[in-house]
Structure 1
Amino acid sequence: MAEQGASLARTKLLLFLHKRGPARAADIADFFDNAPRTVTEAIDGLERDGFVARTPDAHDRRVKQVSITDEGRRVLGETEPLRQDLIDAVFGALDADERAQLSSTLAKLLTALDGLDGGDTRTR
């Protein structure tokens, strides 16, 4: 992936834009549950490399829409199979029952995290 100027994180963001279409940085941050600054820095790098473009929002001139470029689609086409192979290699070690159990366990953990009140959990 690095040879194409991409990483797992960059490929995920490009895939998001490819599937969903143009989006605001805030919406991308919400989707990936990242800090807005983290997403802005990622978008800056992708824009610098020509993989995404920012354009004014038609409804709110204060907002920019981020969209994947032709170059971004080209890189995604080269890196997405590698990303999928990595996922298959990791999760392929589990049989269907184990994957279902993992999914259930992760869902429970996410529910527990969502239920926290934002306080310091180290003292609980």
Structure 2
Amino acid sequence: MNGADEQLLTDLFRLITLIRRSFDRAMTGQGASLAQTKILMCIKAQNGSARAADIAEMMNLAPRTVTEALDGLEREGLILRVPDRDDRRVKRLAITPAGEAAVTVTEPLRIELGAKLLKPLTPSDRRQFHAALQKLLEGLADS
């Protein structure tokens, strides 16, 4: 790897870190972090039928990571774990009114922050950047 490639990777990692910090700071101040909002949106998309394993699969995360995140959401009163009607061993995830309120505030904020982040890029820049990201993602999927 040459110096330009090394700098590209350094800048990419720095960008990822800055995006996460920026989004988390703004969103946490409104009720839920970026990660929490993403999990709440996944639960909401499942209409009350989501299990921890479903969320782990949807988000491509380790089950333990999801369990720890769900524990935090439950402690903060944003979700409930409810016994499954057909299988008492299974717990379904439900968003509480506080969780719904957090999504109502943070999801539009996430969209606004994303638009602000991409604003310096022209439509052509965005297409090229997206194409490059797709190639990187495909390369990682093959690994």
| TM-score normalised to structure 1 length | 0.82
For structure 1, which runs of at least 5 residues remain unmatched after alignment?
117-124
Letter in 2 for 1:87: G
In structure 2, C-alpha distance between the alignment counterparts of 1:13 and 1:93, rounded to whole Å: 29
* Residue of structure 2 equivalent to 1:17: 43
1:33 pairs, out of 50, 56, 60, with 60
1:102 is aligned to 2:129: yes
Letter in 1 for 2:84: D
1:93 is aligned to 2:120: yes
| Structure with larger RCO (C-alpha < 8 A, sep 6+) | 1
* Cα displacement string for residues 9-61 of structure 1 (whole angstroms, at most 9, x for unaligned residues): 11111122223323111111111111111111110111111111111223433
| TM-score normalised to structure 2 length | 0.72
1:114 is aligned to 2:125: no
In structure 2, C-alpha distance between the alignment counterparts of 1:110 and 1:25, rounded to whole Å: 25
For structure 2, which runs of at least 5 residues remain unmatched after alignment?
1-26
Letter in 1 for 2:125: E
Deviation at 1:90, TM superposition (A): 0.9
* Matched length: 116
In structure 2, C-alpha distance between the alignment counterparts of 1:60 and 1:108, rounded to whole Å: 43
The alignment yields a C-alpha RMSD, in angstroms, of 1.7
Q: Percent identity?
A: 48
* Residue of structure 1 equivalent to 2:8: none
CA gap of 1:101–1:57, structure 2 versus 1, over 3 A, is farther
* Cα displacement string for residues 67-119 of structure 1 (whole angstroms, at most 9, x for unaligned residues): 21111001111222221111111122222222222222222222211111xxx
In structure 2, C-alpha distance between the alignment counterparts of 1:15 and 1:74, rounded to whole Å: 12
* Residue of structure 2 equivalent to 1:122: none
Q: Report 1:77-88 matches (<5 A).
A: 77-88=104-115
